[in-house]
Homo-oligomer: A and B are copies of this chain.
């Protein structure tokens, strides 16, 4: 199990944390993940009116379920939604001060954050090309603000490089670009590219490399003010007298390569991580809240579905109160859109055919952990001039995320103190929340020694312990997709599945939206045929 899940950890890291990893298996991994992250959303579905009185039961009030419910309702369907939690949104979720969250194993955390402070345990980014989720965000009038993926002044850190001292993103990137440019310039000048590139194009290439890599007049990447203009200075230029800048020393190529820190500088290159990215003001959970409010009369909360049964006439879901248990109740409709995660759905009796059943049962879920840490003051801004973005580390916390709101405020702030996948996430999930927090503090203080003095309180979410998902997102491999994906998505009788797990944009809200749109479009066609 560990080996199996160590693989997704690495892959997920790539697509979700936005780091270009040093592993040669990366792009193969991306293929397996289905090139996570993009969307074919071309506008909301235009379903047209169903036969009067046609009803649909939607299981789950996450993003997929609520998109389905909203569009089906708008088309004229009679819609009922059953939701396990006492709130709408599912993994679209922010934890605020005063919130209580209970994990499998009985760990209950009461969030101690101050008003206005929060953490997003689940999704936290809305890339510009995720036009599906952005459509609903705008329809629901959820206010957005920019999300900073790349911060040149944030740190990259390895316990085994530079004496364990963090360096700035800008330094590593400038030095990597500089060295690459110098090496390729050298190769060009020595004739190594004569077979591949025409002489005329070589001249343009040299000019391009010189500019892009900040090379000097001899096509060298050397410590000096040219490099300083990219990597920063020891002493910045200033005003008036004695204002000359002093350049820092560029990292030599062997040191840079061996440090492994170049793995971090792809943070903004992947399609999902490219600027512009947005986040809802006040937390990602604002989307789920707004959806819930818009669908208020349709959603029934605290319903734990324990059985799903279809016959020629319709679909019946049996459920109990998810908090109190007690009486079994039923909800019935002509059709059903089931957005319950496969990890949970595989444990619920449901009379679908063997192909869908096999598809559900085979799908493992990725492990992920997030830790939020409230600090007394925003020392990363005040002391380190880091305004938003992320620092990366080779420690198990993987990264530190800086809040991208209330910049320059004199008050408190909540750091994302850990966001990891795979093995580190499994190890974290095996510990009680307070130990996960303690670990995040230990790792983080290697980068920000201020942690010790400034920490106030924290919260930790290990997705394999979240009762209603048992993992962070469906984990497909190239092989499992080929064998099972179409069976998972195909309509079985009166039931169709939807959610990020039924998409090629796994672990993203856009997957949930596009999956829901596709599922109800096909369902409506079946209804009308």
Kindly state whether residue A39 has any CB partner on chain B within 8 Å. Answer: yes
Quick check: A230 and B269 within 8 Å, CB to CB?
yes
Tell me the smallest distance from the CB of A448 to a CB of chain B, in Å: 17
Cβ of A282 under 8 Å from chain B: no
Name the residue of chain B whose CB is nearest to the CB of A40.
B238
Considering the chains assembled together, what is the distance between the CA atoms of A383 and B103 in angstroms?
A: 44
Q: Is the CB of B408 within 8 A of A134?
A: yes
Are B240 and A144 in contact (CB-based, < 8 A)? no
Complex Cα spacing A269 to B226, Å: 12
Q: Which residue of the partner chain B has the closest CB to A510?
A: B239
Q: Are A385 and B131 in contact (CB under 8 A)?
A: yes
Shortest Cβ distance from A240 into chain B, in angstroms?
3
A160 is an interface residue with CB less than 8 A from chain B: no
Answer whether residue A232 sits at the interface, using C-beta atoms and an 8 A cutoff: yes
List the number of copies, as a whole number. Answer: 2
Residues of chain B within 8 A of A225, CB atoms compared: 30-31, 35
A110 at the interface (CB under 8 A from B): no
Given the complex, which residues of B lie within 8 Å of A97, measured CB to CB? Answer: none
Q: Nearest chain B CB to A197's CB is how many angstroms away?
A: 7
Are A27 and B216 interface neighbours, CB within 8 A?
yes
Could you tell me if B503 and A278 are in contact, using CB atoms closer than 8 angstroms? no
A265 to B208, CA, bound (A): 10
Chain B residues with Cβ under 8 A from A176's Cβ?
Answer: 208, 212
Which of B131, B174, B275, B519 contacts A240, CB < 8 Å? B519
A239 & B502 in contact (Cβ 8 Å cutoff): yes
Among A146, A243, A385, which residue has the most Cβ atoms of chain B within 10 A? A243
CA distance in complex: A41, B237 (Å): 9
Closest B residue to A64 by CB, please name it.
B239
A230 to chain B, nearest CB (A): 6
User: Which stretch in A150-158, A312-320, A423-431 binds the other chain?
Assistant: A150-158
* Closest Cβ neighbor of A247 among chain B residues: B35
Interface membership of A186, Cβ < 8 A: yes
Q: Which of B24, B173, B253 contacts A207 (CB 8 A)?
A: B24
Docked complex: A181-203 residues within 8 A CB-CB of B: 181, 183-184, 186-187, 190, 192-193, 196-198, 201
Which residue of chain B lies nearest to A243 when distances are taken between CB atoms in the complex?
B504
Interface centre among A30, A41, A276 (most CB of B within 10 A): A276
Contact of B180 with A180 in the complex, beta carbons under 8 Å: yes
Given A40-B235, A148-B275, A271-B229; A241-B184 close (CB under 8 Å): no
Interface contact B187-A243, CB-CB below 8 Å: no
Expressed in whole angstroms, the minimum distance between the Cβ of A231 and any Cβ of chain B is 8
Q: Is A464 at the interface (CB under 8 A from chain B)?
A: no
Per-position binary interface string of chain A over residues 397-422, scored 1 when its CB falls under 8 Å from any chain B CB and 0 otherwise? 00000001001100000000000000
- A518 near B241: Cβ-Cβ < 8 Å: yes
Tell which of B229, B503, B518 touches A35, judged by Cβ atoms closer than 8 Å: B229
Interface size on A, residues (CB 8 A): 123
Q: Indicate whether A223 reaches chain B with its CB closer than 8 angstroms.
A: no
Cβ A38 vs Cβ B240 within 8 A: no
What is the CB-to-nearest-CB distance from A59 to chain B, in angstroms, rounded to a whole number? Answer: 17
Does A236 belong to the interface (CB within 8 Å)? yes
Interface residue? A489 (CB, 8 A): yes
In the complex, what residues of B have CB within 8 A of residue A513's CB?
A: 239
CB distance from A100 to the nearest CB of B (A): 33
Are the C-beta atoms of A244 and B183 separated by less than 8 Å? no
Bound complex: CA of A364 vs CA of B244, how far in Å? 21
Query: Quick check: is A85 within 8 A (CB to CB) of the other chain?
Result: no
Residue of B187, B237, B519 near A39 (CB, 8 A) is: B237
Q: With A37-B237, A187-B187, A201-B258 as known contacts, state yes or no: A207 contacts B408, CB within 8 Å.
A: no
- Interface pair B129/A271, CB less than 8 Å apart: no
Interface contact B504-A128, CB-CB below 8 Å: no
Chain A 12-34: CB-based contact to B (< 8 A → 1; otherwise 0): 00000000111110111011001
Knowing A190-B192, A211-B20 are in contact, say whether A41-B238 is a contact too (CB < 8 A): yes
- The chain B residue with its CB closest to the CB of A131 is B385
Among candidates B38, B187, B208, residue contacting A237 with C-beta atoms closer than 8 Å: B38
Bound Cα distance from A35 to B212, whole angstroms:
16
Q: Known contacts A41-B238, A239-B514; can you find 14 more A-B pairs with CB under 8 A?
A: A23-B211, A24-B210, A27-B215, A27-B217, A30-B225, A152-B275, A177-B269, A187-B187, A187-B192, A190-B192, A208-B257, A239-B510, A240-B489, A276-B387
Can you identify 22 A-B contacts, CB atoms within 8 angstroms?
Answer: A24-B211, A26-B210, A27-B229, A30-B226, A34-B237, A35-B229, A40-B237, A145-B145, A145-B146, A148-B276, A151-B275, A152-B274, A153-B274, A208-B263, A233-B271, A237-B505, A238-B505, A239-B516, A240-B522, A241-B518, A243-B504, A243-B518
